[in-house]
Amino acid sequence: MGGASRDPREKRPWTFYALAMLMGTFLVFLYGPMVVIYVLSFQGPDGGVTFPMVGTSTFWFAEILKPGQMANIPVSFGRSMLLACIVSVITVLVAVSAGLGFRRRFAGSGLLFYLAVASLVMPSLLVGFGIGLGFKLFGWQTDLFTSALAAQLTWTLPFGLFAMFAVFNRFNRTYEEAATDLGATAWQRLRWVTLPILMPGILGVAMGAFTLSYDEYARTTLVAGNRNTLPLEIYALISSSSSPTLFAIGTLTTAVSFLVIGMTLALILSLQHRRAARGRPA
């Protein structure tokens, strides 16, 4: 472990080794099954959904793109990406703004806080059910970019808000005070001081909202209208198909998630790196 060499005076207690073992086992438990499906998605054309591998191929990936029963997968992938981008942008704007607002106590702040908590812990399917019923009573047609978008926001917004609380907890107010003392207007202070300092956290919120939306199933299923998102398509496939294609889709969609996570982390790291190089506040 990285820390061992730093502290040569002190011997590690036995609990360190026990907990390190637990951590290692947990990581195997976390990644093991996922690795199994990544491997199985490269199953040969004659292979099945379990080991042994009958050769290796990209046959099952090619199946996804073939016209036919899988035809909906690429289209729904596009929809999911678009929806996730919209959700991510709205979540960032609303959550950052609300995070700023929550820095002062205001009348009703407690109520709004508990509304957000309730929205987060509400059984997911019920959110979609409520919105779906509401649309029905008004005679509106449910759709991906109205009702499903709204249902996903009830999940990503509280998440974004709580993430912003964590970000603001670490925020040092003296930078803002200095900006005010130097004559900055509220807007200039926000644009040139507060937001740049918060940027890594904001990027984190954007990524979190994107991935939550991209993988969301339970809130969306009752209100997506007649255009399915990727998770809804995958769900429909689970019952109808038992070929490694399902694993190939799983591998691809996880790869997309990893790509988004990796790009965001790289962006955050490079921001922090640049900042450290310039000696600016982190």
Partner 1 sequence: MSLAQNSDEAVTIAPRSRGRRRWRLSPQAVSWLQVSPLAIILTAFFALPTLVFLIVSFYDYDRAGIYPDFLLTNYEELLTTPATLRVYVSSLKFAFIVWGITLFLGFNIAYFLVFHVHSRTMRTILFLACAIPFWTSGIIRTIAWIPFLGRNGAFNQGLMAVHLTEQPLEFLLFSPFAVCVTYVHLFTLLMIGPIANSLAKIDPALLEAARDAGASRWRTMVDIVIPLSKTGIALGSILVFTQVMGDFFVVKAMSGGQSASIVSQLATEIQAMQYPPAAASAIILVLFVALMVGCMMRVVDVRKELVR
Please state, in angstroms and rounded to a whole number, the distance separating the CA atoms of residues 161 and 173. 19
Taking the least distance from each CB to partner 1, the nearer of 112 and 199 is 112
- Contacts of partner 1 in 136-155 (CB under 8 A): 137, 150-151, 153-154
- Contacts of partner 1 in 84-103 (CB under 8 A): 93-95, 97-98, 100-103
Stretch that binds partner 1, among 26-34, 54-62, 194-202, 274-282 (CB under 8 A): 26-34
Give me the amino acid identity at 210. Answer: F
Residue 113 touches partner 1, criterion: CB under 8 A = yes
Pair of tokens at residue 94: 């609303």
* Contact letters for partner 1, residues 213-252 (x by CB under 8 A): -xx-xx---x--------x--xx--x-------xx--x--
Residue whose C-alpha is closest to residue 171's, from 147, 189, 183: 189
Residue 207 touches partner 1, criterion: CB under 8 A = yes
Stretch that binds partner 1, among 60-68, 71-79, 158-166, 193-201 (CB under 8 A): 158-166
For partner 1 (CB under 8 A), the number of binding residues is: 104
Stretch that binds partner 1, among 53-61, 67-75, 185-193, 194-202 (CB under 8 A): 185-193
* Chain centroid, CA 125 distance in Å: 19
Give me the amino acid identity at 176. Answer: E
Q: Is the peptide bond before 52 cis (omega within 30 degrees of 0)?
A: yes
Q: Cβ of residue 41: shortest distance to partner 1, in angstroms?
A: 10
CB of 167 within 8 A of CB of 99?
A: yes
Residue 272 touches partner 1, criterion: CB under 8 A = no
Please state, in angstroms and rounded to a whole number, the distance separating the CA atoms of residues 252 and 101. 39
Residue whose C-alpha is closest to residue 76's, from 218, 225, 261, 239: 225
Pair of tokens at residue 60: 């099952």
Q: Cβ of residue 214: shortest distance to partner 1, in angstroms?
A: 8
